Structure 1
Amino acid sequence: MASKTTLNAKNLETLGVERLAALLIDISRGSAANKRLLRIELAGMQSGEEVAREVTKRLTSIDRSKSKVGWRRVKALKNDLDTQRRVIAETIAGSNADEALEVMWRFMGVARSVFSRCADANGTIMAIFRLACADLSVIAKAAERNPRRLADRVFSALQDNEYGQYDTLIEALAPSLGVKGLDHLRFLFLEWSKLAESNLPGADRATAGPSDARASYEDILNLRKRDRTIRTALEQIANAQGDVDAFIALQDAQAKSEPVVAAQIARKLVDAGRPDEALDAINKANHTVGHPDTFEWEVAYTEVLEALGRKEEAQEFRWHSFERTLSADHLRAFLKRLPDFDDMEAEEKALAYGYQYPDVHRALAFLLSWPSLDHAAKLVISRATEFDGDRYEFLTSAAEVLRENHPSASVIMLRALIDFVLDRARTARYKHAARHLAEAKRLGAEIGDRTFIDSHEDYVAKLRSSHQSKTKFWKNSIQEH
């Protein structure tokens, strides 16, 4: 049974209304976010319209703010925005879908202001606007707006999509737009595409002098941006309508030769039951087999072969693709299609192949990601001299993964990092190298005599013999130890 002091709703109810009210006042002091929540709850006691007014007031404040939002304040802004979003989607929409739709459009409208002054390197703020687009889908269905009017709103929004906040808008609202709305939206974008360059803002170039060169360049960039917006929107509309031919018609010859686009076209044709055309489309791509940029092309190619009934050929291609790239995805797709027990034998064959792969870094990355840590450790130990200590992030990550069950291999990774730093006299990394040396010492104590690599003492002695003059490193080393 829970203690009477456990924080839960039932226990808090025993405090009584007056005491809880006093506590909420105390808790809200110094917290603007808590005060806003309380105001919203109080507004909700009156009507949904009052809640909408409170949220709109807050959104207006966010929109008008000129303050820069550094990384320390991003979390608070994210929480504030998410609170407003949830109130719109849950509280306002529950009582008045039409009102909620308008307020959610207002919410999306603050994106320009927010992103113009916010450092959103990890995408936490953008994630909130992605959720809001999804909310728009649900609210729009409930509101049952006229499809043409909704299309007008979508068109207007996508014309102001500077930060990509509306990238998922067409997909989200496609069910509400329906055939009529999507057709009208396509018409609007086609009409925009016909707008003569001379009619666009800043396009009076006939009398432009040298001083207007920068303005002309900006006009060109704006035109390109407009064209990208139009093409992307028309592609999304074609996807929403399931119109493969419309999607293909939007791609010029150069686009069709790009592996990613060719893969997209081929997949759409396969889904439409047109595998022969899909094969023709995917073979038009200029690709280098095994290049990282052609992975999607390779996967789509096997899907086309499967659709044509050429399953053995598809399997051969998957295996050869794995041999070239050590792609775990290609291998998984290959194994998935093998009979029971055959897949186990093939997996062992693949791991053995990966162990002997010429590029030791790619080999280790594959074995770690599979994962097969035993094979990875064996690789590290047997090919210790091949590792490039300049690959800081990769080797430190590998050392961390191997640390618990394969400390000897982890030590080898750390020593590769240390040796590179000292051999190349990379003074900026001395502190990191000293930390790695301290970590290697701790792992060495765990290993004891159960290894064939040099003891930590012997390794340090060799370092001192070769790098005694690097006093900055040794000072850092003393501090780490």
Structure 2
Amino acid sequence: MAKQAKAKLDRKGLGSLGLEKLIDILLDEAAANKALKARLQTALAGEMGPDEMARLIDKRLDAIDQSTARINKARARDMAVEFSALARNILSELGAVDPQAGAERILRFLGLRFPISARLVADSARLWKVFDDTETAAQELIQSVDAEEQVLLVPHLERLRLRDRYGEHTGFLLGLTSVLAAPGAHAWRDALMAVLADEPMKFGALDLAQRLSLRLADIDAFLSLEKRKPENRRDTLTVAALLAEAGRFDQALEWVRERPRGMRLIPVNGSLTSVGPEYGAHERRMLEAEILERLKRREDAQELRWREFSETLNPEVLKLYLSKLDDFAEFEEMDRAFAIAAEHEDIYLALDFFISWPRLDLAARLVERHNHDWEGRYYDDLAPAAEALSAKEPRAAVLLYRALVEDILRRGIGMAYPQAGRYVGELARLMPELPDGHGLSTHAAFLAELRRNHSKKYGFWSSVPGGMQG
């Protein structure tokens, strides 16, 4: 029996329906589907040229902008579909034939976000996703506009920025500063500079003007704008890094030594963030040392690196310090570094340093010397250290694992009982590897002590290999 052919929804299948049938179907669907209707109208307008297409899109954008009707959840869902189609029409239909006109309309579209939010009865993640997705495509469209025509977009960019009261488009606007060609970047910066005196010191005109100055490689303009900020808005570390990268080391040294006092509001990953005076302290000291090195002040740079290591016990800082020494001098300095780490007031920092260097023998010596000082709540330090020490320094590993188990049980951290049970399993494995005369209580004695003090913590004992019998 011959296999019956199946109808397929593809170009060949639809073509077999005939033009008249397809027209009837599209008209029926368009009567009930606003998104489809708008797309068909835009396509028809495109046959008459981009001006007619732009007129039709403007008419729809005006209607949305001027509406004051409240938007319930059901209407918000429908609008998400409708807006997605409208954005697609602007980007794909109009933008394909007239990128500059398409860019103007897509910026108008993005500006609808605020009036729409004021009309919503309840928040709509689906609707906001349409705007977020459109921003990515809009940036690509704006980048494709001819350099001279990008200048014509500046009034639309400013209109969008001023409408953006709550920073929804901050990331988009910042992203545009890196894709505009020189004419557009100059024109937008000039527009921003004209309104600086009238705007509060928020993340707005001044910050965008600075980003555009970087786009134009105009560091002097960037510095001038930074000096206009109040002290609690200045990002002296970023300025110093820019100056150092440009080879202006004397200026960079002045800025890097302008250490902040008190809380500041500075851009962090594109968002205005409140940070304390110690934010970026390590990066600041390392940059200062690099600047001093470039200014031929090697001794001052090394002194700063050594001071940074002595405080932080950062292995990378020590490696950098040692790499700058004369031949054979590193061995003596390394011994001095190990001595400082061994006497450091933060024993957990010291343990991390010896483990990561690695000097497991010195880590084990530190563990032994502070046998009764380790607190299991610092498990992020102790657990990896115990694991690293297990093979070559089993006695030190036992001390750390016991500290971890005892702390978990003493504080009754139920969610950590399975982990404590695994630590007991490690202890059972390590104890036979200890040499005679190791000076520690046996594993059986350790378990007996746990049973006396924590016999009713069944969640723990159910995780111990062998249960309460150990």
TM range (shorter): 0.5 to 0.7
- 1:166 matched to which residue of 2? 170
The offset of 1:432, in angstroms, is: 3.5
Give the counterpart letter for 2:190 in structure 1.
F
* Distance change in 2, residues 1:389/1:193 (3 Å): same
- Structure 1 residue 443 and structure 2 residue 426: aligned? yes
Is 1:378 aligned to residue 364 of structure 2? yes
Q: In structure 2, do the counterparts of structure 1 residues 194 and 387 end up closer, same or farther at CA, with 3 Å as the change threshold?
A: same
CA distance in 2, matches of 1:360, 1:275: 38
SS of residue in 2 equivalent to 1:435? helix
Bigger Rg, which one = 2
Question: Which amino acid in structure 1 is aligned with residue 284 of structure 2?
Answer: W
- The residue that corresponds to 1:229 in the other structure is 204
CA RMSD of aligned residues (A): 5.5
TM-score by length of 1: 0.58
The verdict on how the C-alpha distance between 1:133 and 1:408 changes in structure 2, with shifts beyond 3 A counting, is farther
In the alignment, does 2:403 pair up with 1:416? yes
Query: What are the ranges of 5 or more consecutive residues in structure 2 without an aligned counterpart?
Result: 11-35, 47-63, 65-70, 75-83, 118-122, 263-276, 465-470
More helix by share: 1
Return closer, same or farther for 1:438/1:343 CA change in 2, 3 Å cut-off: same
- Counterpart contact for 2:108–2:156, Cα < 8 Å: no
- Equivalent position of 1:143 in the other structure: 145
Shift of 1:182: 2.0
Q: 1:401 to 1:103 in 2, by over 3 A?
A: farther
Structure 1: how far apart are the matches of 2:246 and 2:402? 55
Deviation at 1:327, TM superposition (A): 2.3
Cα distance change, pair 361–105 in 1 and its aligned pair in 2 (3 A): farther
Which of 244, 247, 253 lines up with 2:219 in the alignment?
244
Structure 2 length normalisation: TM-score?
0.59
**Correspondence 1:296 to 2:270:** no
1:309 maps to a residue whose letter is K
Alignment pair present for 1:366 and 2:353: yes
CA contact (8 A) 2:408 2:417 kept: no
2:205 and 2:323 map into 1 onto residues whose CA distance is 40
Distance 1:132 1:406 in 2: 58
> Residues 102 and 387 from structure 1, CA distance in 2 versus in 1: closer, same or farther, beyond 3 angstroms?
farther
Distance 1:176 1:193, change over 3 A: closer
Question: Contact (CA 8 Å) 1:151, 1:181: kept in 2 or not?
Answer: yes
- Counterparts in 2 of 1:197-236, with a 5 A limit? 227-236=202-211
SS in 1 for 2:350: helix
2:302 corresponds to 1:315: yes
Deviation of the 1:132 alpha carbon: 8.0
Distance change (3 Å), C-alpha of 1:341 and 1:152: farther
1:278 equivalent in structure 2: 252
1:233 Cα offset (Å): 1.6
The one-letter amino acid of 1:372's match is P
1:187 corresponds in structure 2 to 190
In the alignment, structure 1 segments of 5+ residues that lack a partner are: 1-15, 22-38, 50-59, 68-82, 119-124, 196-222
- Hey, what's the Cα distance between the residues in 2 that align with 1:167 and 1:360? 42
Deviation at 1:176, TM superposition (A): 2.5
Change (3 A) 1:104 1:410: farther
**Cα offsets for 1:283-307 (capped at 9, x unmatched):** 332579x966411211221122123
% same residue: 21
Equivalence for 2:312 = 325
Read off the aligned partner of 1:378 and give its amino acid letter: A
Contact 1:136 1:172 in 2 (8 A): no
Q: Report if aligned partners of 1:257, 1:284 keep a CA contact under 8 Å in 2.
A: no
Cα distance, 1:438 vs structure 2: 0.8
Number of the residue aligned with 1:216 = none
Matched, 1:477 2:460: yes
SS in 2 for 1:167: helix
Q: Which amino acid aligns with 2:426?
A: L
One-letter identity of the residue aligned with 1:176 = L
Count of aligned residue pairs for this structure pair: 375
Output the CA distance in 2 between the equivalents of 1:132 and 1:363: 50
- Would the aligned equivalents of 2:421 and 2:460 in 1 still touch at CA under 8 Å? yes
For residues 165 and 441 of structure 1, the distance between their equivalents in structure 2, rounded to whole angstroms, comes to: 54
Distance 2:331 2:138 in 1: 47
C-alpha spacing 1:320/1:104, structure 2 compared with 1 (3 Å): farther
Matched residue type, 2:204: T
